Each structure stands twice: as structure tokens, then as C-alpha cells.
Amino acid sequence: MIVNRQPPLVGIEESKAWIWLICGHDQRWPSAVRRFVPDLIPQHDSVEVRVCDPTDTPGVLIKQSRAIVLWQIEPENLGQWCERIAKTSLAHPGVLQLAATSELAELSPLEQSAISELGVSAILRHIEQLPKLANMIRAYFVVS
């Protein structure tokens, strides 16, 4: 029998398309994700980057068992963000959640551990940290 199937041929065969949701109002992280996403995904997979309001996230995720959600957290409303993260973890356990802070905001170690407990896999502060997640994100796509 033949093993080691080749990757799909674009335009001829089907390839997987994933969703990367960026929830927040800042333009900093959408630009960064669009810039680095080609280096973060496995070959032959496609990713659709969508920016949405945090309140719309549950609706967008309804038909997605696997997706990446990047929350642009504002420390002043941390409680609301924690609630959204917790709800997403419960309703969509297969979704990979990332948290990012705005340009100059900083989360305390206690706040960071709180949102990690709720299901966030990585907390980012600067956009140059995004390429460092390449292995984790590729592994997530491959396993999915």
C-alpha cells in the first residue's frame, strides 16, 4: 500500500482552512498577525484572519471546532476579558486562545497567572514575540 500521502495540490485538491480571530479594537495586533501568519502556519494550510468585536466572538466560533483566538486585553476591564476567556474555554475547548496587551499596558504576574488558568496558552506583550509561537501554532494546526 502507498503511504506518506503528499500534501494537497492547491487549486486541484482540498486544503484545510482555519480561522484566526483577533478580538479587540487596536490595529496593532491585526497588522502583526497578518505580517507573520505566513511563517506560522504549516505548508499547504490556509488561514483566514478576521478582526471582530469581542462580543461577537461566540457567534463566529459556533461552527468552528478548531480556531485561534487572540484577545487584545485591556487591563482596566480584566474581569470582562476573563469572563470571555473562561466562556470560550468551556464552549470551545479545542480553540487555541492567546492573550495580547495593548501597546503600553502591562499585566501583573498575578493577572497573567489568572488568565493562564482560564485557558490562555500564551500571553504576548510585544509584536516581536509572535514569531516565537511558531512551533506551538504549527503543532496545533498539524494535530488539528
Where on the chain is the footprint of another protein (CB under 8 A)? 1-2, 5-6, 9-10, 12-13, 15, 17, 28, 31-32, 34-38, 41-50, 103-106, 126-132
Residue 10: CB minimum distance to another protein, A? 5
Give, as one character, the DSSP assignment of residue 104: S
Tell me which residue has cell 487555541: 96
Strand 96-101 and strand 68-73: pairing? parallel
CB-nearer residue toward another protein: 60 or 86: 60
Tell me which residue has cell 505548508: 43
Residue 138: CB minimum distance to another protein, A? 10
CA distance 34 to 20: 10
Residue 90: CB minimum distance to another protein, A? 28
Residue 18: CB minimum distance to another protein, A? 10
CB 69 within 8 A of CB 58: no
CB 73 within 8 A of CB 100: yes
CB-nearer residue toward another protein: 85 or 133: 133
CA distance 18 to 67: 6
CB-nearer residue toward another protein: 34 or 113: 34
CB-nearer residue toward another protein: 26 or 114: 26
CB-nearer residue toward another protein: 33 or 115: 33
Residue 58: CB minimum distance to another protein, A? 20
CA distance 12 to 2: 20
